[in-house]
C-alpha cells in the first residue's frame, strides 16, 4: 500500500471528535486503502480489533446489510461495551436511507464514524439531505506526484516519472503496473486497459445510471471536448456552439447538465474567475480540469497534447490537495493562472513549460508584476535553473515544487 500521510494526518486530527468523518472522491482514488491505513494506525495506538467494525458495501458478503435497519442492528450488536468504537462504512451511498443509521449511531457517545463515497450522492448538498448530525467532509484525490514518486521504481529519473504520471495516470493501481512490465508497450497496454475500464464504470454507473441519461454518445462527446480544452476559458454557450458547428448538435441546457454530472462524479473540477483588483468573483467563463490527466490520453490519444495545459492541470490539483481554494485570476486584461487562498493568506501562481525564451519570460511575469499587493508570487516551470527571484517573484522548478522541496 502506498502511504497517504497528508490524509492520515487529517483523520488523526479529527479522531474522536464529535463529527462524522466523510471521505469523498472519484472512484479508485484510494479511499478504502486510506481507511485501512488508518485502522492500522489505530491498532498501533492500542485500539483492539474488537473496537473496530469495517463494512465494504461493494462486497457481496455484506449484501444483507444494504438494508439500513439490518445495518444498524448489526453494528449495535457488535459494539464493544465501555470502550470507544470505530465504525468504517465503505461506499455508504449504496445503502438507501443510510442517513438514518448514521444519525442514530452519532447519538452513541462511544462511537466514532468514518464513511466513504464516490458518486454524485456524496456531494455536500446531498450529504446534508441525508445526514442531520454534524460532519466533516475530507475530499480525496488520486496520488500526488510526491506520493507517486514514493512508489516509482526509478526515483532518480524525475522527468521520465513525470511523463509516466501525466500519461498513465495517478490512480494508485497504476503504481503496480509501473513496477511490473518488461517494456513500455506492456505498461501502455495495462494502464490503458485499467483507465478505460475505470472511465466506463464512472460514466456508465455513476453518471448514466444515477442521472438517467439516455444519449451516451452525446455525453461522451462532451467529456472529449472538455478533455481537449482543459485550462481554456469555457462557457456553456461556447461549448454548445462549438460542438454543434462540429456536427455534434447539443443545446446549452443539455451541455450544462452533462458537465454538472461530470463534476458531481469528480471527473471534472471547475475553477471560477476572480477579479484581483475589484476583489470579486466573476460569473462568466470558467476553466475546467480533469481529476487525472491519464483520462485525457484515454479520450484523445496522443493527439492535441498541449503540455502547458497538462502541467497547469497538475498544479491546479496539487493546490487543491494542499487545502487551497483555487481561482483563475484576472488583473485588468491579463490573467493569472491561479489565485490560491489558504489559511495563511493568498498566493499567486503562473505556470509555464519553459521561460528560457526572453519574450516568454516577460509575458509570464507581466500579470504577476501588475498585482500591487505583497502576497507571495510564484512562476513554476519545467526549467532546471537555480532558484531565481524576479523583483520578489520566485521562479521554481515545478517538479521540485510538487515534491515539496521548494
C-alpha cell at 342: 489558504
pLDDT of 188 reads 84
Cβ(326)–Cβ(348) below 8 Å? no
pTM of the model: 0.94
pLDDT of 141 reads 97
pLDDT of 155 reads 87
Cβ(315)–Cβ(338) below 8 Å? yes
Q: How far apart are CA 330 and CA 1, in angstroms?
A: 42
Single residue among 139, 155, 171 that ends a domain in this structure: 139
Q: What is the DSSP string of 239-307?
A: HHHHHHHTT----HHHHHHHHHHHHHTTSEEEEEEEETTTTEEEEEEEEEEES-THHHHHHHTTTT--H
For residues 117 and 178, state if they share a domain: no
For residues 383 and 256, state if they share a domain: yes
Q: How many domains is the chain partitioned into structurally?
A: 2
User: What DSSP designation does 63 have?
Assistant: G
For residues 120 and 150, state if they share a domain: no
Cβ(305)–Cβ(314) below 8 Å? no
Single residue among 139, 168, 198 that ends a domain in this structure: 139
pLDDT of 119 reads 66
How far are the Cα atoms of 122, 223, 274 from residue 263, in angstroms, in the given order? 12, 11, 20
For residues 236 and 379, state if they share a domain: yes
For residues 300 and 386, state if they share a domain: yes
Q: Is the CA virtual torsion 179, 154, 160, 308 positive or negative?
A: positive
Single residue among 90, 113, 139 that ends a domain in this structure: 139
Q: How far apart are CA 179 and CA 167, in angstroms?
A: 16
In the chain, which residues have pLDDT < 50? none
| Domain, as residue range, for 103 | 5-139
| Residue in the structure block whose three cell numbers are 456552439 | 241
C-alpha cell at 217: 454518445
Q: How far apart are CA 42 and CA 52, in angstroms?
A: 9
For residues 357 and 234, state if they share a domain: yes
pLDDT of 109 reads 94
Amino acid at each position: 500500500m502506498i502511504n497517504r500521510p497528508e490524509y492520515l494526518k487529517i483523520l488523526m486530527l479529527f479522531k474522536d471528535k464529535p463529527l462524522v468523518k466523510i471521505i469523498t472522491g472519484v472512484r479508485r482514488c484510494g479511499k478504502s486503502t486510506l481507511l485501512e491505513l488508518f485502522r492500522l494506525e489505530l491498532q498501533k495506538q492500542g485500539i483492539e480489533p474488537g473496537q473496530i467494525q469495517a463494512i465494504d458495501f461493494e462486497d457481496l458478503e455484506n449484501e444483507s446489510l444494504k438494508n439500513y435497519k439490518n445495518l444498524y442492528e448489526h453494528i449495535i450488536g457488535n459494539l464493544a461495551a465501555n470502550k470507544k468504537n470505530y465504525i468504517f462504512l465503505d461506499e455508504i451511498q449504496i445503502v438507501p436511507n443510510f442517513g438514518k443509521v448514521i444519525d442514530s449511531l452519532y447519538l452513541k457517545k462511544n462511537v466514532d464514524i468514518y464513511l466513504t463515497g464516490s458518486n454524485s450522492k456524496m456531494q455536500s448538498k446531498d450529504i446534508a439531505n441525508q445526514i442531520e448530525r454534524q460532519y466533516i467532509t475530507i475530499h480525496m484525490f488520486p496520488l500526488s506526484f510526491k506520493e507517486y514518486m514514493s512508489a516509482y521504481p526509478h526515483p532518480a529519473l524525475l522527468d521520465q516519472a513525470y511523463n509516466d504520471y501525466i500519461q498513465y495516470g495517478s490512480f494508485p493501481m497504476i503504481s503496480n503496473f509501473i513496477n511490473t512490465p518488461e517494456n513500455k508497450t506492456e505498461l501502455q497496454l495495462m494502464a490503458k486497459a485499467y483507465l478505460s475500464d475505470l472511465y466506463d464504470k464512472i460514466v456508465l454507473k455513476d453518471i448514466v445510471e444515477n442521472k438517467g441519461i439516455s444519449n451516451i454518445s452525446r455525453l461522451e462527446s462532451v467529456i472529449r471536448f472538455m478533455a481537449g480544452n482543459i485550462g481554456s476559458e469555457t462557457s456553456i454557450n461556447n461549448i454548445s456552439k462549438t460542438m454543434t458547428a462540429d456536427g455534434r448538435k447539443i443545446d446549452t441546457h443539455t451541455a450544462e447538465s452533462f458537465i454538472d454530472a461530470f463534476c458531481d462524479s469528480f471527473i471534472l473540477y471547475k475553477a471560477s474567475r476572480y477579479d484581483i483588483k475589484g476583489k470579486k468573483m466573476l460569473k462568466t467563463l470558467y476553466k475546467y480540469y480533469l481529476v487525472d490527466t491519464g483520462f485525457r490520453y484515454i479520450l484523445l490519444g496522443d493527439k492535441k497534447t498541449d503540455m502547458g495545459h497538462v502541467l497547469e492541470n497538475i498544479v491546479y490539483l496539487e493546490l487543491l490537495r494542499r487545502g487551497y481554494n483555487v481561482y483563475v485570476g484576472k488583473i485588468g486584461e491579463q490573467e493569472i493562472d491561479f489565485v490560491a487562498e489558504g489559511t495563511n493568506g493568498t498566493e499567486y501562481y503562473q505556470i509555464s513549460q519553459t521561460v528560457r525564451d526572453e519574450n516568454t519570460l516577460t509575458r509570464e511575469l507581466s500579470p504577476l508584476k501588475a498585482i500591487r499587493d505583497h502576497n507571495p508570487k510564484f512562476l513554476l516551470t519545467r526549467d532546471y535553473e537555480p532558484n531565481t527571484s524576479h523583483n520578489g517573484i520566485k521562479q521554481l522548478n515545478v517538479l521540485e515544487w510538487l515534491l515539496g522541496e521548494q
